Structure 1
Amino acid sequence: MVRSMRRLVGASGIAALALALAGCGLTVPSDPDGTLETVSGGVLAVGVTPNPPFTETDDADDEEPSGTEVTLVESFAASIDAELSWTVGSEEDLVRQLEEGDLDLVIGGITEQTPWAAHAAPTRAYAQALQPDGSTTGVVMLTPMGENAFLAALEQHLDEAAP
């Protein structure tokens, strides 16, 4: 009986807290820096590092990148009514720009074993990549740390659109 009361009070308390937070205009997940709100109907700044077939870049400055991840990002941008701005570079440079707030997303066939996980928030693995030893590993995209609404929206899109 006491356990049942604790569960009831615990569940009621959580529900009351959720309602109180909703009344304050707080949403979960949220973006402390407002990434999803900023890019929706605006510009989604994407860093891309070459890694065929996920991402391919041309040496010509006027060429947009291509590849399977580029197609996914294009469909995500369309789903939030965002224009795309591409920046080509090394993973290290792009992650630095992501941390500084100059980019909203980094792509390039990045695996779930990425050393950049301490500097950026990886999505859930949405595809598999063949490794040199014949094994496979998950492929992720990198988003700014703490921008959970943006990450959740991107992951939902990847769940729906990824092959």
Structure 2
Amino acid sequence: MILSRRIRVLLAVATAMVLLTSCQGAFPADSQGTLERAREGVLRVGVSENPPWTVVAPDGTVSGSEVELVTDYAESIDAAVEWVPAGESTLAAMMREGQLDVVVGGLASDVPWTSEIATTRPYTTTTGPDGREVRIVLGVRPGENALMIDIERFLAERGGEL
């Protein structure tokens, strides 16, 4: 009886090991392969004007602290950045359609587009116009877990509040 119980336990462990080792790819994974596509390629970033985080000039050039942050991140994965300036609701729709990888614009952690945009953990805080603390996040395409983790790792290395 004891032998058969041990055999069952060993079989269960062996089965679990086979299932875990037979999985294709590494965890976490991107459902659309965004990090892999962007690496040594192009990172598509929606940018909504919100100084000092993001500034969009009339000629379409962008600047600001989050623009610099994302530019540095893109350099860390050898990617060029394609900036797409628009309002937050337009960017959320573009993210939902898979046209963007990241959205910036001094986004607060309580953005209303959580079904279209996944957010990083807050990487800094600021004071809102009402005097309350606002936690600032970056928006990432939902389901792109490898990209999310890579960005959060980058933010943590930069001294973010993660």
**Scaled by the length of structure 2, what TM-score is found?**
0.85
Aligned to 1:123: 120
Note the 1:106-145 alignment, pairs <5 A.
106-145=103-142
How far 1:25 moved relative to its partner? Answer: 2.2
| CA distance, structure 2, for counterparts of residue 31 and residue 106 of structure 1 | 17
> 4+ runs of 1 displaced by more than 4 Å?
none
**Scaled by the length of structure 1, what TM-score is found?**
0.85
| CA distance, structure 2, for counterparts of residue 16 and residue 136 of structure 1 | 49
| CA distance, structure 2, for counterparts of residue 18 and residue 59 of structure 1 | 57
| CA distance, structure 2, for counterparts of residue 18 and residue 145 of structure 1 | 29
Q: Which moved more, 1:77-86 or 1:15-24?
A: 15-24
Q: Name the % identity.
A: 39
CA distance 1:162–1:67, change in 2 (3 Å): farther
- Please point out which of 132, 145, 149 is paired with 1:148: 145
Aligned to 1:73: 70
How far 1:97 moved relative to its partner? Answer: 0.7
Structure 1's unaligned 5+ residue stretches are 1-8
Aligned to 1:85: 82
How far 1:24 moved relative to its partner? Answer: 3.1
CA distance 1:157–1:22, change in 2 (3 Å): farther
Larger C-alpha radius of gyration, 1 or 2? 2
Aligned to 2:4: none
Note the 1:24-43 alignment, pairs <5 A.
24-43=23-42
Superposition RMSD on alpha carbons, in Å?
Answer: 1.9
